[in-house]
Amino acid sequence: QVQLVESGGGLVRAGGSLRLSCGASGLTFNAALMGWFRQAPGKEREFVTAINWSGEMIHYADSVKGRFTISRDNAKSTVYLQMNSLKPEDTAVYYCASSRYRFFRTEEEAARLYHYDHWGRGTQVTVSS
């Protein structure tokens, strides 16, 4: 059974930083494409970033480019999301997801929720102004 468990969320002031982690079990992590999504109250879940198994192919949503960085440690079966220069509009529940795909050619492909097979329960990130 695949399990994805996010951690690292919290309350931070605008301009601050947080690092989210997602530990995975029950899947071949070093072959899995991993992604981060977020969902703010009253809004649809939206794509944040995705990384292929080797870390060589990464996609970011325009809204986080230059501020967020995704990385992975295959030895620890963990994917990370470093979030810098946080803004109040980054406030959301952040979800980790795994995909059966080996890579995505475009951000549009990476952003499609149905391309992901397993989801974590999320971790809350709140950015105060």
pLDDT per residue, tens digit, the chain (129 aa), is 999 999 999 999 999 999 999 999 999 999 999 999 999 999 999 999 999 999 999 999 999 999 999 999 999 999 999 999 999 999 999 999 999 999 999 999 999 999 999 999 999 999 999
Mean pLDDT of the chain: 97
Contact 83, 20 (CB under 8 A): yes
Question: To the nearest whole percent, how much of the chain has pLDDT over 90?
Answer: 99
Alpha-carbon torsion, ordered 110, 113, 115, 120, to 10 deg: 100
